[in-house]
């Protein structure tokens, strides 16, 4: 049973790991171009696991930004993970201890969150460990490969790798949106809100980090109002048999 849970997590994490390798490859290239040593780039990826935050960080480093600027930018960009963690905590099995949360919470990313939340059953520690293991390895290995070998690739290929994260996220969301109408509507709401913030001049003062937070909170609120969870259904899910 435990082996089955871990293997199920590994299987679900394979496409995420593949996408992360490509994206972090680009980060490794960009980090070295910004003046960081390859080993420094690898350490950043192993201790952060946040694409938007890491790319913003190397821009601040290369521009000679202050520690305060770095801290505030990371807070704004990565604050959405707090919302994801709160939502994900409602899906955790009772066997998920505080220690498990502290250790595995480091690996909560947009894609891992999406896959975990789409799982119909409660999330158990071994499944989440399997789900996060390969993406973490892929992110770190991709950074190392990009930092040490990226200079050998042509410019066109290096530019193409930078958009792979978006394609991977779309591949995760679209199948779920086709199956579940609430997911489709919430996703459409988030897209609409994002477009309003991006293209309406009155909202031009909102940074990209705050835009993500606003879209996530607003779309979640719309989903909660339109599709409230039935209390009896929630209680029934808690008693489901775990694979």
Per-residue model confidence as pLDDT tens digits over 2-54: 678 889 999 999 999 988 898 888 889 888 888 899 999 999 999 988 887 88
Domain boundaries, given as residue ranges, for the chain: 2-172, 180-243
Which pLDDT tens digit goes with each residue over 87-125?
888 888 888 888 888 888 888 998 899 899 888 888 898
C-alpha–C-alpha distance, residues 46 and 52, integer Å: 15
Can you tell me which residue has the tokens 């609120």? 221
C-alpha–C-alpha distance, residues 98 and 88, integer Å: 14
Question: How distant, in Å, are the alpha carbons of 126, 206, 208 from that of 65?
Answer: 40, 20, 18
Q: Which neighbouring-strand residues pair with 92?
A: 123
Which pLDDT tens digit goes with each residue over 127-173?
999 999 999 999 999 999 989 987 777 777 766 665 665 666 677 67
- Per the CB < 8 A criterion, the answer to whether 140 and 111 are in contact is no
CA torsion 11→17→18→24, rounded to 10°?
180
């Amino acid at each position: 049973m435990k082996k089955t849970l871990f293997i199920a997590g590994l299987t679900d994490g394979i496409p995420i790991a593949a996408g992360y390798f490509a994206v972090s490859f680009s980060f490794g290239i960009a980090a070295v171009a910004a003046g960081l040593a390859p080993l420094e780039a690898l350490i950043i990826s192993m201790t952060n696991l946040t694409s938007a935050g890491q790319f913003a960080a190397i821009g601040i480093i290369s521009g000679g930004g202050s520690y305060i600027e770095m801290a505030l930018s990371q807070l704004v960009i990565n604050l959405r993970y707090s919302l994801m963690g709160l939502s994900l905590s409602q899906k955790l099995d009772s066997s998920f201890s505080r220690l498990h949360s502290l250790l595995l919470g480091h690996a909560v990313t947009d894609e891992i969150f999406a896959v975990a939340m789409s799982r119909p059953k409660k999330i158990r520690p071994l499944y989440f460990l399997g789900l996060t293991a390969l993406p973490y390895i892929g992110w770190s290995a991709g950074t190392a490969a990009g930092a040490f070998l990226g200079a050998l690739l042509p410019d066109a290929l290096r530019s193409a790798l930078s958009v792979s994260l978006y394609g991977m996220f779309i591949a995760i969301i679209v199948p779920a949106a086709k199956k579940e109408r609430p997911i489709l509507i919430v996703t459409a709401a988030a897209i609409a809100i994002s477009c309003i913030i991006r293209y309406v001049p009155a909202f031009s003062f909102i940074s990209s980090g705050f835009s993500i937070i606003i879209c996530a909170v607003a779309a979640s609120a719309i989903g909660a109002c339109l599709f409230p969870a039935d209390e009896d259904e929630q209680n029934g899910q808690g008693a489901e048999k775990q694979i």
